[in-house]
Amino acid sequence: MLIIFKINIDIVFCQYEKRYIYSQHLSLSYERPELAATISPEDMEKYDVIFLGYPNWWGTIPMAMFTFLEQYDLSGKTIVPFCTHGGGGLGRGVDDITRISPNATILQGFAVNGGSVSRAQNDVADWLRGLGYIR
């Protein structure tokens, strides 16, 4: 949420179609959960830049993000990945995003330890400044 205080962006949440109870089995599986329609493909077309935020789960993006990226054609768009983590940084998340969206431009990602989010404002600003989104 620190990003929205720095730049003017719309927020779209990826939500599961059906509620499920977290289990280690589900988190380790390769099942792609169905997502509730939160933005139409037509509406997605009006965005050139997608800030893609997610928690690092088991070293990569969550299955919901895989589903999101597979549902939308992000060719020609710029994806700016960022995540929270418990020690794994960006992991292989950026590689997976690049593999699923090979015709998108993937910018330098940002990772912050979940326990440090409240103190990451300057780091977020430096990252956004380095990407040219703020001065």
The two three-digit tokens of residue 51, written as one number: 């800030």
Cβ atoms of 6 and 134 closer than 8 Å: yes
pLDDT at 48: 95
pLDDT at 2: 65
Instruction: Please name the residue ranges forming H helices in the chain.
Output: 2-6, 24-28, 41-44, 63-71, 93-100, 121-131
pLDDT at 12: 79
Mean pLDDT by 10 residues, the chain (135 residues): 74 68 51 68 90 92 88 95 95 97 98 94 95 93
Angstrom CA distances, 113 to 54, 55, 85, stand at 12, 10, 5
Domains assigned to the chain: 2-131 (3.40.50.360)
- Collect all residues with Cβ–Cβ distance below 8 Å to 69 and sequence separation of at least 6: 61, 97, 100, 101
DSSP string, 99-122: HH-TTSEEPPPEEEEGGGGGG-HH
3-class secondary-structure state, position 76: coil
pLDDT at 30: 52
pTM for the structure as a whole = 0.83
Q: Is the dihedral of CA 112, 115, 121, 126 positive or negative?
A: negative
pLDDT at 23: 53
